[in-house]
Amino acid sequence: MLEANHASIQPEMTSSLSPVQLIRPTRHGDARGWFTEVYNREAFAKLGITCTFVQDNHSLSAPAYTLRGLHYQTPPRGQDKLVRCIRGRIFDVAVDVRKGSPTYGKWVGAELSAENGHQLFIPIGFAHGFVTLEDNCEVTYKCSDTYAPANDGGIRWDDPAIGIDWPMPVGTAPELSGKDKVQPLLADFDSPFPYDGRPLAPLA
């Protein structure tokens, strides 16, 4: 466990080399319940996460197996994201779409839930999506830039070239937005994201 200077947040990270990081904030509990810090700039800087967050988003997905993604914003309006689930459970995914990356088109995913309190940091250069695993899931996430419609883009959630193993019952059709039903395939995507020398690593 990485010890931060502030005693209330002690996030663990996947790898100092991996751009996508699974963070597990420490919870301090007693008979009343628990307390946790979900973000502390100094502690996160120790993990190499130095972006400035400027927007917080909050979504409710009423039906189980609502799928949102895969989304990104193009430069110069790219978004780093810090995602957590505050009600229910989701399976959260990041796909490497950095041109020239040796892990281009590869993905990692993790279950985030109100119970486990885990968060996923997804940097610029990765497409992001999640599927809800039960009814009435609420997700919040911090972004390093505000929403820019002209830079909004996406990739098909079920692109066979990516092959995400979404944890849904066999034969289940996810609930999708109209936009996500018609996103392009990765093969048709000319990535504007540069590779920064850090290949994607599995989440611990």
Q: Is 44 helix (H, G, I), strand (E, B) or coil?
A: helix
CB atoms closer than 10 angstroms to residue 6 = 12
Q: Are 119 and 40 in contact (CB under 8 A)?
A: no
Catalytic residues: 71, 141
* Beta strand 137-143 pairing with 89-96: unpaired
Q: How far is CA 200 from CA 1, 22, 64, 158, 176, in A?
A: 21, 12, 29, 20, 27
Structure tokens at 181: 């039903």
Backbone angles phi, psi at 60, to 5 degrees: -115, 130
